[in-house]
Amino acid sequence: MPFDGFVTRALIHELREKLIHGRIHKIYQPHPSDLLLHIRSHKDNQSLLLSANPTYPRVYLTKENFLNPLEPPMFCMLLRKHLEGGIIENITQVSHERIIHIDVKTKGELGDIQNKRLIVEIMGKHSNIILINSDTNIIIDGIHHVTPAISSYRQVLPGKEYVAPPDQQKINPLEVTQEKFLAKLQFNQGKLDKQLVNQFEGMSPSVAREILYRAGLPTKENLWKAFLEWMEKARNHEYQPTIVYSDRPDFSILPLTHLQGERESFSEISLCLEKFYSAKAKRDMVKQKMQDLSKILINEKNKNEKKIGYLHKDLEQAKEAEKFKLYGELITAHMYMIKRGDSEVEVINYYDENQGLIKIPLDPLKTPSENAQHYFKKYNKLKNSLSIIKQQIKETKKEIEYLDTLLTQIENADLADLEDIRNEMVEQGYLRGRGKVDRRKNKNPEIEQYRSSEGVPIYVGKNNRQNEYLTHRLAHSTDTWLHTKDIPGSHVVIRGKDFGEQTLLEAATLAAYFSKAKHSSQVPVDYTLIKYVKKTSGAKPGFVIYENQKTLYITPDEKIIERLKVK
């Protein structure tokens, strides 16, 4: 893991300079494992991200805007109660480990001074953020609870005494002497990089390999010299935060010269961390939300597909209605031949051209008249159900089409798009509401814009909210509208009338790419003027009818999409 003890030390140095004596004025929890502290310090506003994400645990100052939940989680509310308005008194690192203490002085409800400590433990999947009372060392709460069933050594639960993670019996690399350093390494055993990791606190495999690389021939003298050079830089806070973009991108407080690849240096460790983690964490968050929403939609789709199967069986039964009408009429015509107790009757079928014989089952407990009425009732019931079943099949197919549209939109969504899709799923009853109205949805959505080779603006709706705004409000009646033919996908609009065939083909490529058929070839794309596109009453979000269309056949090309996108 690149976030090692050296990165933690560099970060603490930066945070101390920028945040000590700062006031915490707002706390958010944009993700179940992430916190965002807004701090007013040195006449400037800072945003501190604290994350106990099991995949990407991290801490740094950020400029990124986060989408916060409508209702703050319980841990967020608790932190607001205990820390908002508090002054940051100190920020420290525990030895050389990836554990950060943020000491905050606050006022209690009675105006008394209270000391709280926010502890960030960066420990991979066991990472945590814990609030304790500094004076009593009692846990107020943690972002992740650790019960006795999980750990018998230490529990993270309200009211428990805080116990630090177990000591790994490693040496602080910034304090080791040459004699002790050499005594801890077994040069004859090889794998010196692993030995460095196992012997010294906060030593990541990347830094260990870098020290070995700088040592050249791994003699005792060379290795100590390379080790000491790295430690002197860290001890004196002489940092050069650098990311190396190799097959597996990595970063550290100093350039990792043993790795091949493009390098990017930063003036501050937070800038480096944000660049390295932001895209990764966002992709991870998007992927998780995509999976959560997709799972719900796939379950709904499966239910509707099963429903279609049952309805088709009912339809086949309903189609027998004419047979029961025939039975009833033939029984009435041959009443004189039937008596109570008969289980069947064979009569001439007057409705058959050949006047053939037909056997009709009878209920021996019923009179001939009652048997006839039984079949007429069955006929009327099935006849009435036939139109209902056909309508249900039509509506269920539309539901499946709508669910397919949402699943397609999720594949191309970013975090903001996913939030729109989630809100739509709440409105349509697939998800429970959060108890508050999302006032953000009343604002006009941002529409993704592209520009054709001829310089003509092209707009693409990435979800149904955007599709409806684009087609029914943003677009003009003379703009050209495109959509994949009978395939779930995005609404695409070409602005204006002055464009050539190249623009039309590029817009059709966008429509094909942002559809369920993005990986297919020769995708049919319809196009017509906006004035011929209408929304029917009661239709699902994003659904329209259109006329006067023409059709193009397009093979999506991602390179074209990237070239056309307005940066």
Structure tokens at 78: 């608790």
Residue 344 CA to residue 334 CA, distance in Å, equals 12
DSSP 78-111: HHHHHHTT-EEEEEEESTTSSEEEEEEEEE-TTS
- Domain boundary assignment for the chain: 5-142, 178-265, 283-443, 445-564
Q: Label each residue of 279-325 as H, E or C.
A: HHHHHHHHHHHHHHHHHHHHHHHHHHHHHHHHHHHHHHHHCCHHHHH
DSSP 223-250: HHHHHHHHHHHHHTT----EEEESSS-E
Residue 439 is predicted with a pLDDT of 47
pLDDT at 360 over 70: yes
The answer to whether domain 5-142 and domain 178-265 are alike in fold is no
Round the average pLDDT of the chain to a whole number and report it.
Answer: 91
- For the segment(s) 283-443, the CATH number from 3.30.530, 3.40.960, 1.10.287, 1.10.3470 is 1.10.287
pLDDT at 2 over 80: no
**Please, what is the angle between helix 368-411 and helix 415-427, to 10°?**
160
Contacts of 232 (CB under 8 A, 6+ apart): 238
Residue 438 is predicted with a pLDDT of 52
Structure tokens at 546: 């259109």
Q: How far is CA 42 from the centre of its chain?
A: 36
Q: What is the helix (H) or strand (E) element at residue 113, kind and residue range?
A: strand 113-121
The amino acid that residue 402 corresponds to is: Y
pLDDT in tens, 287-338: 888 898 999 999 999 999 999 999 988 888 777 788 888 888 899 999 989 9
DSSP state of 491: -
CATH architecture of 178-265: Orthogonal Bundle (1.10)
CATH number of 5-142: 2.30.310.10
pLDDT in tens, 416-466: 888 889 888 988 888 876 555 454 455 788 899 999 999 999 999 999 999
Stretch 32-37: mean pLDDT, rounded? 95
pLDDT in tens, 465-489: 999 999 999 999 999 999 999 999 9
The amino acid that residue 25 corresponds to is: H
pLDDT in tens, 493-503: 999 999 999 99
Residue 437 is predicted with a pLDDT of 47
